């Protein structure tokens, strides 16, 4: 008998609203440039759209998860230790999902929405994708079902992971206790992730535990002499809701159509964002190389 | 997700955006100096080293030219932030009200006016590049 697990996000939403309001008051007192009404409206609109898109695809994702679970290696019970283990392994799966979302343009086309604001505040946390199902973001969790974690348990801990990641999208919190910064993802670590500074590009993919970045060589600490600048390399310069949601998909379609030959066409799908068949554009690597050549 | 949650979420979105507007957050932001414009450009365009920049009289847009006078970028105010595009010299035209840059990107704002800046200002920035 499977227990009926609640959706933690439903319970967290009122808290999200109160904390966004509190952060706005902080911005009002400290620096009024840290919020912009149109940016907030776009972020929250994208958040609502993401919830609707998620609800529409939830049935299909759950059906796939249940089907994969049918081939499970172990029968993992609904025990407290299983929830803890599931949470940790789900966070590891999240790290690889997130890393691929920045390194493969097909996945980036969906994830870029979350990075498209030039602001870094709690409303940015809610700026979420509408096309996660199309970009196959759920495949990274399939190994968990194959191991034997029940789908309901995995989706429960995944929601907890999502709730944790809300509060780290802020400039209102500086650095935290040393032990906490060493183990957990924090506002400081995640500011680095959202920054477009050459030093910070494609760093700190962690969801909850920053140890994954330290383990896999993608960690970068926030520096006082290199203040993070937020957004994407090619800033949108627009608050248009649908443009924010679909601009990278449109970019991919244009590039694939114009590319000479299948090798180049496929390159625009699976190569990193910024890759081009003639080398005329910049990727994270070339941006960092130019920055280093300039003497940093 | 049900209709009550959907309606409640939409109401919360409007309330929060309204609160940001009521608190006057992110309003009246302008490009304060040529240094600010140059800083925005150099952080947006890899390898761009600013040789000179000029800010429009209304502080809503700016132009920056690199040290060799070959690359040119337009900066525009985007809400409370600045957004940058590299453009070609052919996309820049002088008008009676100032320089107009045709970015060719509708969503970026299309044609961006750099108010009060004239051809003479541009020649000072990049004598060898501004033709006509």
- Please tell me which residue of chain A has the smallest CA distance to B78: A237
Where chain B has pLDDT below 50, the residues are 131-132
Q: Which residue from A37, A55, A198 is facing B21, i.e. has the nearest CB?
A: A37
| Minimal CA separation from B3 to chain A, in Å | 11
* Binary contact (A48, B9; C-beta < 8 A): yes
> So what's the pLDDT on residue B128?
62
Give the separation between CA B103 and CA B83, rounded to whole angstroms: 12
| Minimal CA separation from B81 to chain A, in Å | 7
Give the separation between CA A206 and CA A220, rounded to whole angstroms: 11
Sheet holding B61-66, edge to edge: B50-55, B61-66, B72-78, B81-87
Structure tokens at A246: 């679909």
> So what's the pLDDT on residue B121?
87
> So what's the pLDDT on residue B132?
42
In chain B, which ranges are E strands? 50-55, 61-66, 72-78, 81-87, 92-95, 98-102, 111-115
Three-point CA angle A260, B88, B58, nearest 5°: 135
Interface test with B, best of A37, A45, A128, A283 (most B CBs within 10 A): A37
Give the separation between CA A157 and CA A8, rounded to whole angstroms: 9
CA distances from A235 to A160, A282, B82 (A): 31, 14, 9
**Could you list the mean pLDDT of each consecutive 10-residue stretch along chain A, which spans 296 residues?**
85 94 97 95 96 93 96 97 98 98 97 97 96 92 97 97 98 97 98 97 98 98 96 96 97 97 97 96 94 80
* C-alpha closest to that of A106 among A60, A137, A143, A130: A137
> So what's the pLDDT on residue A231?
97
- Please tell me which residue of chain A has the smallest CA distance to B25: A32
Q: Which residue from A41, A52, A291 is facing B13, i.e. has the nearest CB?
A: A41
* DSSP helix/strand/coil, B131: coil
């Amino acid at each position: 008998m499977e227990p009926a697990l609640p959706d933690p996000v439903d319970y967290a939403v009122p808290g999200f609203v109160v904390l966004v309001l509190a952060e706005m008051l902080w911005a009002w007192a400290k620096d009024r440039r840290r919020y912009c009404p149109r940016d907030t409206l776009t972020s929250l609109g994208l958040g609502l759209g993401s919830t609707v898109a998620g609800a529409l695809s939830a049935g299909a994702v759950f059906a796939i998860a249940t089907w994969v679970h049918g081939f499970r290696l172990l029968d993992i019970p609904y025990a407290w230790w299983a929830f803890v283990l599931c949470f940790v392994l789900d966070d590891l799966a999240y790290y690889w999902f997130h890393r691929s979302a920045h390194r493969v343009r097909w996945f980036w086309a969906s994830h870029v929405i979350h990075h498209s604001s030039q602001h870094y505040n709690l409303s940015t946390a809610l700026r979420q994708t509408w096309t996660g199902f199309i970009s196959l973001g759920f495949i990274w969790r399939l190994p968990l079902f194959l191991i034997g974690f029940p789908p309901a348990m995995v989706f429960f801990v995944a929601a907890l992971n999502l709730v944790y990641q809300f509060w780290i999208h802020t400039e209102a919190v500086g650095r935290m206790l040393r032990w906490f910064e060493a183990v957990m993802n924090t506002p400081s670590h995640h500011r680095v992730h959202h920054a477009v500074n050459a030093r910070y590009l494609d760093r700190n993919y962690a969801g909850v535990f920053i140890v994954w970045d330290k383990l896999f060589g993608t960690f970068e600490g926030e520096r006082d002499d290199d203040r993070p600048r937020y957004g994407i390399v090619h800033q949108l310069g627009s608050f248009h809701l649908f443009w924010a949601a679909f601009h990278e998909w449109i970019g991919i379609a244009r590039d694939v159509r114009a590319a000479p030959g299948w090798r180049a066409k496929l390159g625009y799908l699976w190569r990193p964002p910024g890759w081009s068949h003639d080398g005329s554009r910049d990727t994270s690597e070339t941006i960092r190389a130019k920055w280093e050549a300039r003497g940093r | 997700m049900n209709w009550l949650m959907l309606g409640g979420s939409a109401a919360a979105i409007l309330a929060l955006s309204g609160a940001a507007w009521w608190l006057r957050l992110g309003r009246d932001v302008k490009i304060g100096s040529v240094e600010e414009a140059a800083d925005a450009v150099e952080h947006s365009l890899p390898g761009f080293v600013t040789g000179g920049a000029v800010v429009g009289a209304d502080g809503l847009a700016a132009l920056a030219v690199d040290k060799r006078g070959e690359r040119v970028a337009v900066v525009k105010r985007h809400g409370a932030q600045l957004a940058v595009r590299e453009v070609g010299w052919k996309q820049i035209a002088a008008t009676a009200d100032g320089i107009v840059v045709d970015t060719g990107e509708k969503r970026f704002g299309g044609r961006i006016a750099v108010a009060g800046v004239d051809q003479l200002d541009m020649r000072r920035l990049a004598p060898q590049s501004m033709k006509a």
